[in-house]
């Protein structure tokens, strides 16, 4: 039996992709998988992941149905973006003695806007002697961890800007829908107003940066605007006629006394010609970083969650954020390393 | 009295620049400065740094001459690149109860090539209940910490390349001399062979990356070549005639079974037209990062050393590396933040 046993809790596209990657890591054993979807319960994981070696593991409805005897127990939790919804799940998992790495966006930095939840999570983590972190590519890496790391080069900072430009054609269908692709302007506006079209996590990233720099922000303002197709656009899943919504332009700005200190900007739409990640730090010295071609969000989130396993099992019990863990690094099994 | 008292140990150009920056940080008090140069001993720090408020602090020859009563004591150590030379200093500082942040290149990752020293340092750090780290821009950040952080985005990695292109015209005279600027080819070759022209720290950066990824390298090979001036070149300090040495092209390669896994390349010369920092990770996903214009090494080292103060005082006693500390971040005093 391997030292680390992992349960995948939530088998949406990201959960499936994580399970696949976990199955390739030499020091990790997949001990089980949980989902509430009746179509998935009872299915062997091999069907959901395409990995034959996972045929003996069947999806269960409840965590308690899983037999796990590994010395170190980790749950990868990928079910929802909002703490209010996932709190009972986190509590159940922690009470069963699992470390938790979660893609829940609000968990990535809950100490500002969800202090009550944060304290409760920290309490049940400490009580069960396990560690919990919320992470992913964004929030969790590109717009916070990486930005904060780069500020380590600076003596003075007056403003931080971070911009992601993504070609949504490369992403899965739920992502394309989440950014409003194919909607009319009216439909987009309604969904944006109701909050159903919105990337969750900007506020968490901004607070994480601000706290790292001891900036006491007065406010964070978010705006969500559509990007309109200037010609007919196509993805593997959708065709968007000229004049309809190609994607999203979302901005969040953190201010002190009306002066803008942190600006995060996400542009994700079909046909974005120059996908990239940018971090600009106005200060001394000035830093202008770019990742050419950008980083595919689904692949990146899968990586970061799996790569966080060694960090979280070595950390002291409690609720962590990427800010207090050691620097990220890739977890390469022997197969991957050469 | 402020909570954190800092002693600057070593007052070369970097030590002076660090002292200047420390004097601007609101939570830090400069408690003293040590140097062996008879011309500096007895001088007020205001003369060496241009900061009037440091006039009451005089450079002393010995650490024991300094009165310090702050609750937390930190020494910034900037005297040499080689552990063999600085060991007695590190030991004396640690035995006096100071945390140590050092620019000593070999200290940045001593666990591979200087294990005996590393164990000894870790022992006297633990015994004195203080923490020690070696850091700077390189080694310490651009070619290791940042590279490792970016691997956090990856699931598989086959090769890592990191390239720094620097315009040495912007750097201080000792740096320009260190890279051979103005020498003939013969002179350069002799100095390169004797090791006096060489950036120290490539091996440390490569080992830090390799250990983070669990790569058991067979060997690290370093080469140092001159870059020849194709026309007359000028810096603030030097003029270099066509055909003489403009700077250095240094490469270090980490291999397993003759296959190249990690390649670090530093080009520093007068008139480099496109200074930049590059990190390329061949893998899945592939990562291509660039910092446009690069980062000035003197400013960067000053930043990273000062920014490491909160990290090191919050870490558990012993010898640390950037790999096991929390992610870097800027330490901004209130004056700097807006």
State whether B280 and B192 are in the same domain.
Answer: yes
Lowest mean pLDDT among A287-296, B79-88, B187-196: B187-196
Interface touch A330/B155, C-beta < 8 Å: yes
State whether B176 and B104 are in the same domain.
Answer: no
Q: Find the CB nearest A289 among B289, B303, B323.
A: B289
**The residue count for chain B:** 338
CA nearest to B154, candidates B14, B43, B282, B290 = B282
User: Which candidate in B152, B280, B331 is best for mutational testing of the A interface (most A CBs within 10 A)?
Assistant: B152
State whether B39 and B96 are in the same domain.
Answer: yes
CA B318 – CA B312 distance, rounded (Å): 10
CATH of the domain at A49: 3.40.50.720
Q: Find the CB nearest B145 among A261, A285, A327.
A: A327
State whether B54 and B128 are in the same domain.
Answer: yes
Is the CB of A327 inside 8 Å of chain B's CB atoms?
A: yes
State whether A80 and A125 are in the same domain.
Answer: yes
State whether B83 and B193 are in the same domain.
Answer: no
Interface touch B295/A306, C-beta < 8 Å: no
Q: Find the CB nearest A326 among B291, B306, B325.
A: B325
Cβ–Cβ contacts within 10 Å for residue A212, how many? 24
State whether B282 and B330 are in the same domain.
Answer: no
Residue B336: pLDDT above 50? Answer: no
Strand order in the sheet with A59-60: A59-60, A28-34, A4-9, A72-77, A99-102, A131-134, A318-320
Give the residue-averaged pLDDT of B287-315.
Answer: 96
User: Considering Cα of A208, then A213, then A214, then A216, what sign does the dihedral take?
Assistant: negative
The reply to whether the predicted model has a pTM over 0.80 is yes
Helix, strand counts (H, E) of chain B: 11, 15
Confidence (pLDDT) at A334? 54
State whether A200 and A124 are in the same domain.
Answer: no
Residue A253: pLDDT above 90? Answer: yes
**For the segment A215-249, what is each residue's pLDDT rounded down to a tens digit?**
999 999 999 999 999 999 988 888 999 999 999 99
Q: What is the ipTM for the molecules in this complex? A: 0.97
State whether B130 and B166 are in the same domain.
Answer: no
Is the CB of A289 inside 8 Å of chain B's CB atoms?
A: yes
Which residues of chain B does A285 touch, with a Cβ-Cβ cutoff of 8 Å? Answer: 295-296, 299-300, 303
Confidence (pLDDT) at A337? 43
Which residues of chain A does B283 touch, with a Cβ-Cβ cutoff of 8 Å? Answer: 330
Interface touch A329/B152, C-beta < 8 Å: yes
What's the distance, Cα to Cα, between the start and end of chain B in Å? Answer: 25
Which residues of chain B does A208 touch, with a Cβ-Cβ cutoff of 8 Å? Answer: none
Residue A336: pLDDT above 70? Answer: no
> Which structural domain range is residue B31 located in?
4-137+299-337
Residue B64: pLDDT above 70? Answer: yes
**Please, are residues B72 and B4 in contact by the beta-carbon 8 Å criterion?**
yes
User: Which candidate in A170, A329, A331, A333 is best for mutational testing of the B interface (most B CBs within 10 A)?
Assistant: A329
Residue B177 CB contacts under 8 Å (≥ 6 apart), including other chains: none
**Please, are residues A62 and A75 in contact by the beta-carbon 8 Å criterion?**
no
In this prediction, residue B236 has a pLDDT band, given cuts at 50, 70 and 90, of confident
Is the CB of A158 inside 8 Å of chain B's CB atoms?
A: yes
**For the segment A272-297, what is each residue's pLDDT rounded down to a tens digit?**
999 999 999 999 999 999 999 999 98
In this prediction, residue B334 has a pLDDT band, given cuts at 50, 70 and 90, of low
Size of interface A-B (CB pairs under 8 A): 180
Number of domains comprising chain A: 2
Is the CB of B196 inside 8 Å of chain A's CB atoms?
A: no
In this prediction, residue B220 has a pLDDT band, given cuts at 50, 70 and 90, of very high
State whether A25 and A152 are in the same domain.
Answer: no
Residue A13: pLDDT above 60? Answer: yes
Confidence (pLDDT) at A4? 95
Interface touch B149/A287, C-beta < 8 Å: no
User: Which candidate in A153, A212, A288, A322 is best for mutational testing of the B interface (most B CBs within 10 A)?
Assistant: A153
State whether A313 and A271 are in the same domain.
Answer: no
Confidence (pLDDT) at A95? 98
Cβ–Cβ contacts within 10 Å for residue B46, how many? 16
Is the CB of B218 inside 8 Å of chain A's CB atoms?
A: no
State whether A159 and A290 are in the same domain.
Answer: yes
Report the b/e string of B205-225 with b at 16+ CB within 10 A. bbbbbbbbbbbebeebeeebe
**Please, are residues A49 and A16 in contact by the beta-carbon 8 Å criterion?**
yes
């Amino acid at each position: 039996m391997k030292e680390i046993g992992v349960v995948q809790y939530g088998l949406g596209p990201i959960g499936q992709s994580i399970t696949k990657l976990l199955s390739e890591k030499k020091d990790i054993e997949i001990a089980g998988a949980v989902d509430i979807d009746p179509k998935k319960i009872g299915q062997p994981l091999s069907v959901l992941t395409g990995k034959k070696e996972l045929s003996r593991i069947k999806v269960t409805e409840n965590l308690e149905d899983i037999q796990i005897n590994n010395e170190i127990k980790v749950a990868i939790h990928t079910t929802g973006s909002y703490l209010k919804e996932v709190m009972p799940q986190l509590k159940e998992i922690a009470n069963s003695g699992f470390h938790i790495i979660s893609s829940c966006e609000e968990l990535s930095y809950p100490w500002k806007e969800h202090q009550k939840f944060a304290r409760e999570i920290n309490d049940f983590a400490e009580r069960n002697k396990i560690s919990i972190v919320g992470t992913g590519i964004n929030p969790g890496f590109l717009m916070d961890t990486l930005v904060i790391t780069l500020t380590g080069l600076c003596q003075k900072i007056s403003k931080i800007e971070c911009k992601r430009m993504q070609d949504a054609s490369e992403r899965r269908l739920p992502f394309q829908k989440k950014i409003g692709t194919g909607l009319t302007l009216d439909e987009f506006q309604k969904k944006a107003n109701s909050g159903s079209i919105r990337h969750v996590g900007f506020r968490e990233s901004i607070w994480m940066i601000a706290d790292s720099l001891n900036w006491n922000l007065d406010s964070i303002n978010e705006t969500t605007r559509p990007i309109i197709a200037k010609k007919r656009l196509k993805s593997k899943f959708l065709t968007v006629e000229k004049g309809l919504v190609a994607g999203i332009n979302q901005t969040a700005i953190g201010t002190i006394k009306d002066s803008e200190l942190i600006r995060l900007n996400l542009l994700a739409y079909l046909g974005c010609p120059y996908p990239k990640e940018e971090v600009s730090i106005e200060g001394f010295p000035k830093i202008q970083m770019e990742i050419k071609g950008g980083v595919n969000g689904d692949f990146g989130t899968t990586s970061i969650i799996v790569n966080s396993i060694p960090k979280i099992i070595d950390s002291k019990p409690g609720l962590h954020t990427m800010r207090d863990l050691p620097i990220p690094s890739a977890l390469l099994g022997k197969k991957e390393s050469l």
